[in-house]
Structure formats: C-alpha cells, structure tokens
Homo-oligomer: A and B are copies of this chain.
Amino acid sequence: VQLHREDVLAGALDQLDRTGLENLTMQALAKSLGVRPGALYWHYADKRALIDAMAEAIVAVLQFTDDNSGPWDERLLRLSQAVHAALLSRRDGARLVAGTFVAQQNTVRGGLAFVEILTGAGLDIHDAVTAGLSVFYYILGYTIEEQSRLALAADDRWDEYQDQARQMVPAEVGEAFRLAQESDTFAVGIETFIAGIRTRVSSV
C-alpha cells in the first residue's frame, strides 16, 4: 500500500473536516494514514506546503463553474455563490484559504473569471480587477465569520456569545444582529456591490 501525494492531501482534507484547522496536525494525519510523521515530509516539504495544496484543492472546483450565459450581474452573483460554496465545503475553509497567499494563485484563476465578467460588463481592466478583488474580499470575510459562528455553535458557545453581545446594544438592534447573522445574507451583500458597479458601468 504505497502512499501518494494525493492520498496525503485527501487525508488532510478529511482530517480538516473532522477536527478543524487548529487540530490539523502532522502526527494525527500520519496516524490516520497508518504511517509515521516523518513519512509525510517525503511528499510535502512542510506543513505550509500541505496547507497550500489544501487551499488549491478547495478552490479547484471553480474550474468547472463556467456557465457564462445570462447578463453580467447574474453571472457575477452565480460566480460569487460558487466561491462561497467552495469555501464552505470544508470546515474552516475560508480561514485556511485566507491564511495562505498561494490562495491568490487560485484567486488568480478564479479571479480571471471575475475579470472576464466585469470587463464584459463594460469596466476597463484596471477597474475590473479592483472590483473583482473587492468582491472576493467580501466573500472571504463573510465566510470566515460564518464558519467561526458554526464553530461556536458546535461548541454550544453561540448562545452565550449572543447573551453577552446583547447587553451592549439596544434591544431591537441586538435582534437585528441576531437575525442578520443567523439568516443567509450573503447574496444581499453581493447585490449591493453589484448595484454599485452598475452605477459606474452605466455612467460610462
């Protein structure tokens, strides 16, 4: 039973889902693969290289989401939701991808799709890149907080946090915060951003 690079990667993604990012260790991964920790270092130079590869794998699904039909604003929303879904597909996926900067290589790949859509909408290349990155930053931030919330909920610390936060804030605002955080407001943010881009496009 030979161990290949992809086996290590698959095992690491499995362990990520089971234990979360901060409990992803080389020793635990080695044990789950039936191997000694040192063996992992033949396949990946160090833990960072392994995590880079995991980030690659998480955003790799975006290669196949190139449904380029419909108007640019619908396409932008669809692509954003695909990126969101990709980050969400693994526990702590957003924090993992945000932590690596190789992330930006796949960001470049997925980023190309953003740029293509936005230039198609009428932006010049510079504006398209800036706007595309902005959307990506929103998605990263949104999903990091979303997954932190999931982790809190899994620890039964979510209610405790809510009670604490509620005391610092007027009641109706606290309620609005809870609602906003527990419902899926992802698309609302994207659509607001799209509305902003639209004003720039139509004014050209």
Contacts and interface: CB of A to CB of B under 8 A. Distances in A.
A117 interface: no
Contacts of A189: 130-131, 133-134, 137
Contacts of A115: 173, 176
Interface residues of A, number: 58
Interface in A87-120: 95, 98-99, 101-102, 104-105, 108-109, 111-112, 115
Interface stretch (A1-9, A27-35, A37-45, A190-198): A190-198
Contacts of A191: 196
A72 interface: no
A134 B104 contact: no
A46 to B, nearest CB: 13
Given A133-B185, A192-B134, A196-B196, A172 B125 contact: yes
B195 A200 contact: yes
Contact of A138 (B104, B141, B195): B141
Contacts of A131: 189, 192
A179 interface: yes
Interface stretch (A11-19, A74-82, A145-153): A145-153
Given A125-B176, A126-B179, A136-B141, A152 B192 contact: no
The 10 A-B residue pairs with the shortest CB-CB distance in the complex, in nearest-first order: A137-B141, A196-B196, A134-B189, A141-B141, A140-B141, A195-B196, A192-B196, A129-B176, A137-B142, A138-B138
